[in-house]
Amino acid sequence: MGTEYAPSRVVGILGGMGPSATADFYTKLIAHTPASTDQEHLRVVIWADPTVPSRQDAILANGLDPSPWLKTGLQRLQDCGAEIVVVPCNTVHRYLPSVMEGQSTEFISIIDTTIQAVQRITANGVIGLLATDGALLSGIYQKALTDAGYSAAQPSAEDQSRLMEIVHSVKAGDTKPELFQGLSKILANLESQGVHVAIVGCTELSTLLEQIDSSGPMRLIDPAIELATATVARARQQV
């Protein structure tokens, strides 16, 4: 007779923003699930819709609001029995509070779990923030950091331009060595300003972090990992 396992709550991943970031998040979700058999892993539903309009265009250039696509994706996940919803895209969290308003499905915010990670590392101070132009303009991380008693240090204009080039390259499937070198230089420039903790607040950048030398004094926070670990904890709680 086989061993019976208590099934997890069903996790719905609202993804496709972009596809590689969604795949990376699911890989991290598996890696951070304590399990020795298939049956001990989480039950997961993924709706990956790459046709969601550009969050950058929506925020920076008054482009199409992605909310209708997000609501459709949420409904798809709910139809499949999702009890918890997570979204492995930082910038789109500009729109998620209104999308999730009034929903009974539990939502775990990548912003909230990342700030909680900052609080575990340091009680106060300046936190480095790597994020897309749209996320920075929306202020989602800056407000969360300020509310928690921190301030944010952002890359220079030149480094921010390079950061966006890296993001677009990852979305295009390009992971050449120059990307890792470019991201490392941006982080080094923040560190030279006295920044000791940095949020890598774009899930495209998260896909590169395993290749980044993290042996220096700067602590890097990967929001995708923070969201994954929080998701595992909540999914295993029967409520």
Check pLDDT > 50 for residue 1. Answer: no
Helix (H) or strand (E) holding 190: helix 177-192
Check pLDDT > 60 for residue 239. Answer: no
Which pTM value belongs to this model?
A: 0.95
Which residues touch 124 (CB under 8 Å, ≥6 apart)? 149, 150
What residues are labeled active site? 89, 202
Across the range 40-54, mean pLDDT stands at: 98
Torsion from C-alpha of 20, 26, 28, 30, nearest 10 degrees: -150
Could you tell me if 184 and 212 are in contact, meaning their C-beta atoms sit under 8 angstroms apart?
yes
Q: What is the pLDDT of residue 223?
A: 98
pLDDT tens column, 7-20 = 999 999 999 999 99
**CATH class of this structure's domain 111-222:** alpha beta
pLDDT tens column, 130-159 = 999 999 999 999 999 999 999 999 999 999
d(CA 88, CA 21): 7
Residue 14 tokens read as: 């609202």
The correct answer on CATH 3.40.50.1860 for the domain covering 11-109+226-235 is yes
Residue 113's nearest CA partner among 228, 3, 239, 214 is 228
Where does the chain hold its CATH 3.40.50.1860 domain(s)? 11-109+226-235, 111-222
Q: What is the pLDDT of residue 214?
A: 66
Residue 125 tokens read as: 């101070």
Query: In the predicted model, what is the mean pLDDT of the chain?
Result: 94
Give the three-state DSSP class for 35.
coil
Residue 162 tokens read as: 């390079």
d(CA 186, CA 163): 8
